[in-house]
Structure 1
Amino acid sequence: MKKVLFLTGDFTEDYETMVPFQMLEMVGYTVHTVCPDKKKGDIVKTAIHDFEGDQTYTEKPGHNFVLNYSFDEVNVSDYDGLVIAGGRAPEYLRLNGKLIEMVKHFFESDKPVAAICHGIQILTTAGVIKGKKLTAYPAVGPEVTLAGGEFQDIPADQAYVDGNLVTSPAWPGHPSFIREFLKIMGTKIEI
């Protein structure tokens, strides 16, 4: 059975946490959802980001998401892949040194990584995207470039794959984002 480490935190984007978590469990993966300074059974508050014609997304209260694993118990070598949710959480999660070291492990070990929207901020801080092609929420594009990555400006309902890295601009890309992550994880779904 494949094991995935899923990084999230307070004011993560609701869909970018709930939907990938449920989809990955649906295909039979063990998915450990964690947040620094929180343990199994704690909650993270989510926020719903929507595109309503304003110059940027709007934000509304989301759900309470219950973490199913304790951050301090994570042994990164136990996992086959990593997923990083977006929203506002990545801006503070990237300040946690242990979390950054966890992310580096997945790149050093060439394990599959999927990051969506602002989750890419964690990758830029970890220094793991130099020379890679990837996408993110457009406002994160300058960070990608400054970190040495090649920002790909693609529609929000798409995903971009570079080796073992899958990225998407936002939650409308979930079908493509999860499909591509499953492929690099070696999972095939027959219809």
Structure 2
Amino acid sequence: MSAKKLLLLAGDYVEDYEIMVPFQALQAVGHTVHAVCPGKATGDYVMTAVHDFEGAQTYSEKPGHRFVLNASFADIKPADYDGLVIPGGRAPEYMRTMPGVIAIVQHFIQADKPVAAICHGAQLLAAAGVIRGKRVSAYPACAAEVELAGASYADIPVDQAVTDGKLVTAPAWPAHPAWIAQFLAVLGTRITY
């Protein structure tokens, strides 16, 4: 396997599992992962939120961890990276208003590089205008945004993921095994035992 250099877009109140798990898992198999947040530098942190499914009509939210960034947003060049990871939570909701973030998402899709987005990460894909004609999963509350952006919403179980070309999407963190496995396949990562 050739190790890949991956960019992970973070923001305050990103979903805790959806940033921690892919950040650690992708490094565990040998990839370099740079986690960045607009307006923040290496060593700064973002606050995370823990979203859970506890029988209410929507998820609950609790304070999560301080996730320390290992790269500076101002210093990154998207062309230097082989793939993009977009966690969910509340961060995509406000980051989709930032032209610099939108340009990054557009770069990866237009350059036909692997992109993994989970949960509310689809809000960034929709805002970037890059999913027209694609099959995209997201948290069910984002289905309207996915469809308004011209994509087909993949209404799949919460523990599943869908791949369309080099775009891998999933509804929420219970899909991590499927989502990360499909992203590794798109990256060309081979794990041998």
Indicate the TM-score class for this superposition, using the shorter chain for normalisation. Answer: over 0.9
| 2:18 alignment partner, SS class | helix
- 1:50 equivalent in alignment to 2:75: no
| 1:95 alignment partner, SS class | coil
Report how far residue 85 of structure 1 moved. 0.6
Unaligned runs of 5+ in 1: none
Residue identity matched to 2:159: D
Q: Find 1:190's aligned residue among 184, 189, 192.
A: 192
Residue aligning to 2:41: 39
Q: Find 1:80's aligned residue among 76, 79, 82.
A: 82
Superposition misfits of 4+ residues, deviation over 4 angstroms: none
Q: Find 1:158's aligned residue among 147, 157, 160.
A: 160
Q: Deviations over 1:90-121 (max 9, x none)?
A: 00011110110011011111000000000110
Residue identity matched to 1:81: G
| TM-score for both structures, normalised by structure 1 | 0.99
Q: Find 2:104's aligned residue among 91, 102, 105.
A: 102
Rounded Cα–Cα distance in structure 2 between residues aligned with 1:47 and 1:113: 23
Residue aligning to 1:136: 138
Residue aligning to 1:13: 15
Residue aligning to 1:118: 120
Q: Find 1:64's aligned residue among 63, 66, 82.
A: 66
Rounded Cα–Cα distance in structure 2 between residues aligned with 1:138 and 1:145: 11
| 2:157 alignment partner, SS class | coil
Residue identity matched to 1:129: I
Q: Report the aligned-residue RMSD.
A: 0.5
Percent of residue pairs bearing the same amino acid type: 62
| 2:7 alignment partner, SS class | strand
Report how far residue 8 of structure 1 moved. 1.0
Rounded Cα–Cα distance in structure 2 between residues aligned with 1:121 and 1:28: 29
Matches within 5 A, 1:21-32: 21-32=23-34
| 2:133 alignment partner, SS class | coil
Rounded Cα–Cα distance in structure 1 between residues aligned with 2:169 and 2:102: 18
| 2:63 alignment partner, SS class | strand
Rounded Cα–Cα distance in structure 1 between residues aligned with 2:7 and 2:104: 10
| 1:60 alignment partner, SS class | strand
Residue identity matched to 1:31: V
Unaligned runs of 5+ in 2: none
- 1:146 equivalent in alignment to 2:148: yes
| TM-score for both structures, normalised by structure 2 | 0.98
Rounded Cα–Cα distance in structure 1 between residues aligned with 2:103 and 2:154: 26
Q: Find 1:92's aligned residue among 71, 90, 94.
A: 94
| 1:28 alignment partner, SS class | coil
Rounded Cα–Cα distance in structure 2 between residues aligned with 1:72 and 1:107: 21
Report how far residue 31 of structure 1 moved. 0.3
